[in-house]
Chain A
């Protein structure tokens, strides 16, 4: 193989890398970004797409070239060139990938630290999330309100304490990119389950919370509505809930109250 062929192949690899990367970077793979964490995770995916395109291009170009160039003619019973190896080349394709993956690991570590960084306490809001077959419950410890729709204010870091009642479940809002299993925990968490996860929703809208850990026959329908709203809307919703809560505890019949009647009061 001449020097010119080498250059051509390397050129082809680079071209293919660029073409693949450009095509693969166009779609919005992970969908809407609705949390502060999403941006960095998606950036990491994009970096990986470019890196992977390069690796894939090397493989495809070499494979394509060999198949095209060295295909046996019918009836050809000769042997190939007895090349047993090349120490320098082998060292290169051991060391270079090592450096690349260590770089990738370091970069992921930085991003992991970023997305898990704790915000100042005044910008945080604790929520206790409880999962059971096949239902989600959200408790706001600051007010004691309990809801099965997940209302959260925008741009505030949520500190979610996750608990499951009987089996494992998993908390995932795809637009937030954050996922964590909910584990049944004994009182006092003696086995040290890391059940706190943080996420900062930054785009108002309605989303779906999906259970992503197999939990039984109702697993595929175990979802909850997530509403990300402005602080004012959230506060209004919270006050409404608090009012409803005092009413419920005040009189037994409140359960049967029709929403229309409540407004009249």
Chain B
């Protein structure tokens, strides 16, 4: 028993989860008994004896996992145990199920966990499409259908796209800026372990009375405030996913601002670093809004507050204002890191410096600023004060300008290049440019109030969001994973399978989402379990292509799993890239660098004779750096 208690790990975490849940449950029962209330309040939105354990059980898991061990000792005045780094790195697959402060391990943990949720979200989407293959009700009843598309979106947004970018950046970014780790490694590990908590809460909602949360991922009040118990699980899950995002964003900000290698000025940072800097600026300021608004819904449900209940003086529309004040920036949180990845991939695989590097970085900052000023374009038909529509329309359309700058600069980067078309990462990047432009164009149309009045809440919106989030974000995620796979694993994936994955994904994606524009304009509303028979043919086509799209992902999973185990050795720098992560071994050494490299030039100096981005320890010209001892031994301890 005492051994169990002293050794943080999965067993102690499960034990902690049980203890935490029991404490929460006991607290509710005791307090209600003392107050003379009915012990189990099972009115539709109530269930305090489920909601409170929904908070305490995940916290118990995190404590058991060891996420707080160091801080608890420190806060309690006990001598802290200096990190002996025995946990750094991962020797076997089991090490990925432990609390680990190594940013490379955390990066892999993030990517694998989020892909697990990607598959779950994808299966929910398949079920949705299967039901929609024909008009009428065949497979699931309308209530369950609402739960399916709500969980599909919640998984894809909160547990796949947002965190997978954090995972890729976690792995790559410290290497890229010449840092030995993230600024706050323990916080980093805690951020990761909060994610599975959110996922388990979302999944658990399927098994509670009333079924999974079914008010859409937007959870508009008052539908959400009156929905069955599952909605509370959504409210809580978002808290964990949100806290994870915020902590990671803080970590990235501090890491990027304070831990760049000597010589890496802001104007020498790779664009992936710029992209994550901008994304983090969005996350730290915007994500608290969704955390807050979901708490308000939870309070309305469980404590009978009156934030959104019009009958008792609440304001129904304020939910949407607060929600979109996060959720519009969230669109860019899901896109800007992808922009960064595309810049890295295009310049490396086209052997060209990024065209207009500084304007590219400024465009990112421009998007950050503008994205705070457009939230109400989701509410043009909501009945909000009408004067806000035109200003929000203008700012919305203006966002097309910095986005256009990025597209044009990427195209110009390809000009006069040596374009390696056989590379899967390159194919996904080129595919991204095409599909993202389509999504951007439909976005501009939706930004115009008169068109939005017709298109809002139809399949046109569904088409648009999937063109930007699948054709946009997911394509960039694949581009990034193929690009850095050799670095992360030290092995090379099968390019032929990669290309097959790309082409099937592209065809499946276009076949699925292009016809949605048409049926949307013609009059098919979104979020319906059944539809008018005039849309039957196109829906069948969409369903068939969506299954092609789903099946194509099997190729990816197979390729990754097999190549990770048996793929040929990749070498340190298979793409002959210039940025620092490629100047270390593949996979990188446990502490990244023996000595911090010195940055002497821009990151994309392809074709410039003699130009270098960074000089590694031991190379000529490195010794100019200050004679600081290797920081590896002290970093984790000193930066807590």
Contacts and interface: CB of A to CB of B under 8 A. Distances in A.
Interface in B171-223: 214-216, 220, 222-223
Interface stretch (B19-27, B287-295, B453-461): B453-461
Interface of B: 141-143, 146, 214-216, 220, 222-223, 226, 310-311, 313, 315-318, 350-353, 355-359, 381-386, 389-390, 393-394, 397-398, 400-401, 404-405, 407-409, 411-412, 414-421, 430, 433-434, 437-438, 441, 444-445, 448-451, 453-454, 456-458, 518, 521-523, 525-532, 576, 605-608
Interface of A: 1, 27, 29-31, 40-41, 44-45, 48, 52, 55-56, 59-60, 62-63, 66-67, 70-72, 76-86, 89-90, 93-94, 97-98, 101-102, 104-105, 108-109, 111-112, 115, 162, 166-168, 170, 172, 174-175, 177-186, 190-195, 208, 210-221
A167 B223 contact: yes
Contacts of A81: 352, 416-417, 607
Given A191-B310, A220-B529, A108 B222 contact: no
Contacts of A66: 411, 414-415, 417, 419
Nearest to A176: B454
Nearest 3 A/B pairs, CB to CB: A174-B523, A220-B528, A79-B607
Contacts of B444: 48, 52, 101, 104
Given A44-B450, A81-B352, A179 B456 contact: yes
Contacts of A185: 310
Nearest to B220: A168
Contacts of B529: 219-220
29 contacts: A31-B522, A59-B434, A60-B434, A66-B414, A70-B418, A72-B418, A79-B352, A79-B418, A79-B607, A80-B350, A81-B607, A82-B353, A82-B606, A85-B357, A104-B397, A105-B393, A109-B449, A112-B390, A166-B222, A167-B220, A178-B454, A183-B310, A186-B311, A191-B317, A210-B523, A214-B216, A214-B223, A219-B528, A220-B527
A242 B409 CA distance: 67
B354 to A, nearest CB: 8
A240 B438 CA distance: 52
Contacts of B521: 29-31
Given A63-B433, A97-B404, A212 B458 contact: yes
Given A45-B445, A220-B529, A30 B146 contact: no
A109 B447 CA distance: 12
A1 B414 CA distance: 14
Contacts of B318: 191
Contact of A56 (B143, B311, B438): B438
B352 A177 contact: no
A178 B518 CA distance: 18
Contacts of B355: 83-86
B400 A219 contact: no
Given A217-B146, A218-B142, A220-B528, A181 B350 contact: no
A218 B316 CA distance: 21
B419 A82 contact: no
A27 B191 CA distance: 50
Contacts of A192: 385
Nearest to A221: B530
Given A72-B421, A168-B222, A84 B359 contact: no
Contacts of A79: 351-352, 418, 606-607
Given A82-B352, A82-B605, A177-B454, A212 B525 contact: yes
A211 B416 contact: no
Given A31-B523, A105-B393, A170 B381 contact: yes
B215 A59 contact: no
Given A62-B411, A63-B411, A219-B527, A168 B316 contact: yes
A195 B437 contact: no
A179 B607 contact: no
A44 B311 CA distance: 40
B383 A181 contact: yes
A85 B356 contact: yes
A168 B146 CA distance: 16
Contacts of B141: 217
A102 to B, nearest CB: 7
Contacts of A177: 453-454
Given A79-B352, A94-B359, A186-B311, A89 B454 contact: no
Given A48-B445, A104-B444, A170 B457 contact: yes
A40 to B, nearest CB: 7
A89 B383 contact: no
A221 B351 CA distance: 55
Contact of B450 (A111, A172, A221): A111
Nearest to A193: B383
Nearest to A61: B411
A88 to B, nearest CB: 11
A260 B172 CA distance: 79
Nearest to B458: A212
A97 B409 CA distance: 14
A93 B142 contact: no
Contacts of A77: 576
B448 A104 contact: yes
B495 to A, nearest CB: 12
Given A63-B430, A94-B405, A71 B310 contact: no
A159 to B, nearest CB: 15
Nearest to B144: A217
Contact of A191 (B316, B438, B576): B316
A190 B311 CA distance: 11
Given A214-B527, A217-B214, 19 more contacts: A31-B521, A52-B444, A56-B437, A60-B434, A67-B421, A70-B416, A77-B576, A80-B350, A81-B352, A82-B607, A86-B355, A90-B405, A93-B404, A97-B401, A168-B223, A179-B453, A179-B457, A183-B383, A214-B146
Contacts of A104: 397, 444, 448
A108 B421 CA distance: 41
Contact of B385 (A70, A108, A184, A194): A194
B437 A59 contact: yes
A63 B350 CA distance: 12
Centre residue among B350, B352, B400, B418 by max chain A CB count within 10 A: B418
Contact of A76 (B359, B383, B418): B418
Contacts of B404: 93, 97
Nearest to B403: A97
Contact of A82 (B143, B214, B411, B608): B608
Contacts of B411: 59, 62-63, 66
Contacts of A220: 142, 525, 527-531
A194 B408 CA distance: 40
B602 to A, nearest CB: 8
Contacts of A215: 223
A217 B143 contact: yes
A181 B382 contact: yes
B420 to A, nearest CB: 5
A44 B383 contact: no
A78 B418 contact: yes
Given A70-B417, A112-B449, A194-B385, A216 B223 contact: yes
Nearest to B414: A66
Contacts of A29: 518, 521-522
Nearest to B366: A94
A211 B223 contact: no
Centre residue among B311, B351, B390, B531 by max chain A CB count within 10 A: B351
